[in-house]
Amino acid sequence: MSHHVRSTNVLKTFLFFFHATGFVVTSFLSLFLIEKGMSPSQIGWILAIGPIASLLSEPIAGYLSDKYKTVKKVILYSAIGMFISGLIMFQLDQFLAFAIFAYFLFFFMAPLGALGESLAQKTAVQTGVSFGSLRMWGSLGFAISSVATGYLLNYLGVENILVPFLLFTTVCLLSSWWLQDVKASDKPVQLLDAFKLLKDLRFVLFLLVALTITIAHRANDVYLSVFIKELNGDETIVGWAWFVGVSVEVFVFAISHLWFRKYHELTFIMFAALLYGIRFIGMSFASSPIEIFIYQPLHGIIFAVFFTASFSYVTKIVPEQLQSTGHVLLVSVFFGYSGIVGALAGGSIIEDYGIHFLYLLLGISSLIGLVLLIFYKLVYQSGTQVAVDKS
């Protein structure tokens, strides 16, 4: 087995089990907190802690990986922190103690996702394979975890969420030990260089426009299981709902080499924003779990298209030596800032107006993002050359 094949297989394993872990936390934590007797606003605060933690940990992790030319070591140390903090957190009952350890869990967990995506993008460029063919393994882990965890927790009870968490996290930690770094740019990276990205108007505006779309995506991630439970579904149905969406996502990632180069990245992102709007507005009228299933295949199409195109676009417009930092900032917007607004605002809206109204607002937010993307593309139609100084 060649070195490249072995390194990509380890990366696929890491992505598979990290995203399997991510599903457990993303989709069942809210149900676990309901089981603990917490209110929707308390749940919203705990779910918002994750994105708040990621706002600090992801930029630090991205900068350290660029500065010291190693993604692997940052991932390994983060995986150890995730394992320990999760082991403690899921055994707590008191709100404040749970919130503190939730912060630590997400602090270590967030860089794993961001740097895993960055390593996949760099590996794809180095080995000549498509990013989607690597990223699909994360989606596959998410999909299989959705069914397996749904059945397991339906049998054991959602209060035993620690069981699947430890199972997936252990393999994730072990695989991170065998990850291989990709040769980075020889240009030294100083902290001031990382701040240059924040002076690149095109990059910053793209992140701000994407925020209007990703808020809707993250709010759905957090509250889909709550929506299904409100429509009288159980944990098994929650698992299958995610499986349907993510299975399509795996397929779209797998064939990304066939469709991705046909149009500009911004065109694909606008297409995804339109589908987000259609999906969430449609879901706002759902009266049974089966109606949620009808819209779930759109999840796979939308996320795979949006994520692949966004990563490729950011890769083009930031300097090579700051690739990890650029990727991490994108993920910080996608899962960080968006997660804070989605979790906090979503919980408040559900308490005051109901979950159907929340999904209507998510659809409207996505369509606003589409309009902003159209204007953004008109302004930057001329190309995707790097706007920051590469010297």
Q: pLDDT for 228-287, tens place per residue?
A: 989 998 878 888 888 888 888 888 888 877 777 778 889 999 999 999 999 999 999 999
Kindly report, residue by residue over 16-68, the tens digit of the pLDDT: 999 999 989 977 898 899 888 888 778 878 887 877 888 889 888 888 887 88
pTM given for the model: 0.74
Which conformational region is residue 171 in: left (phi greater than 0), alpha (psi within -120 to 50 degrees), or beta?
alpha
CA 117 from centre of chain: 10
Question: Cβ atoms within 10 A of the Cβ of 8, count?
Answer: 21
**Separation of alpha carbons 160 and 119, rounded Å:** 33
Q: Which of 64-73, 177-186, 189-198 is predicted least confidently?
A: 189-198
In this predicted structure, what is the pLDDT of residue 389? 41
Output the CA angle 353-359-364, nearest 5 degrees.
110
In this predicted structure, what is the pLDDT of residue 78? 96
CATH code for the domain defined by 9-179+187-379: 1.20.1250.20
Residue 321 pLDDT > 80: no
**Separation of alpha carbons 101 and 92, rounded Å:** 9
261, with CB counted inside 10 A (0-12, 13-18, 19+), is exposed
**Assigned token pair, 190:** 């100083």
In this predicted structure, what is the pLDDT of residue 228? 92
Residue in the structure block whose two tokens are 């994750």: 50
Contact 3, 161 (CB under 8 A): no
In this predicted structure, what is the pLDDT of residue 212? 92
